[in-house]
Amino acid sequence: MLRPISSVAWAALASVALMSGGTRAADAADPFSCRPDGNQQEMNACAVRDFRTADAELNIRYGEVMELLSPRMRAALRTEQRTWLRARDPGCKQASRQSEGGSIWALEFYTCLEQSTRQRTTALGLWKSR
């Protein structure tokens, strides 16, 4: 019988993924490095980096919470998470639509994704008490 991956394993897996080739591949594909006070492309790179970090943290929290829930509650959380995911990207596209096509669009879009993802990570903590 297979056992679910523990939260420690999820954290280790996420850490390895963030520190390994995935980060280097992203850097190689994007010639701009993050500089919060840099030019627009460098600020955009920061926004992408910050979103990826928030997304990794969300996935870790989701795994931790899923371990604590009964099978019925896991199904409910899975449904809620999928609903949230289906709405997140379109919501941020809508929020950043005024700058679409402009150089600031990526900054606005990825900042929205990061904020939404961090809010969802916080909301997942409420499942621990259910």
Q: Write out the chain's pLDDT in tens, 130 residues.
A: 444 555 444 444 444 444 444 444 444 555 679 999 999 999 999 999 999 999 999 999 999 999 999 999 999 999 999 999 999 999 999 999 999 999 999 999 999 999 999 999 999 988 877 7
**Is the separation of the CB atoms in 17 and 6 below 8 Å?**
no
Cβ neighbour number for residue 66 with a 10 Å cutoff: 19
The pLDDT score that the predictor gives to residue 98 is 97
The pLDDT score that the predictor gives to residue 24 is 43
CA 115 to chain centre: 9
CA angle, 91 as apex, 69 and 96 as ends, to 5°? Answer: 140
Give Cβ neighbours of residue 32 (< 8 Å, ≥ 6 apart): 41, 42, 44, 45
Cα(16)–Cα(22) distance, rounded to whole angstroms?
Answer: 9
Structure tokens at 80: 């809620």
In the chain, where the domains are located: 7-129
The pLDDT score that the predictor gives to residue 128 is 79
Residue with tokens 């621990």: 128
Supply φ then ψ for residue 3, to 5 degrees: -105, 145
Q: Which fold, 7-129?
A: Substrate Binding Domain Of Dnak; Chain:A; Domain 2 (1.20.1270)
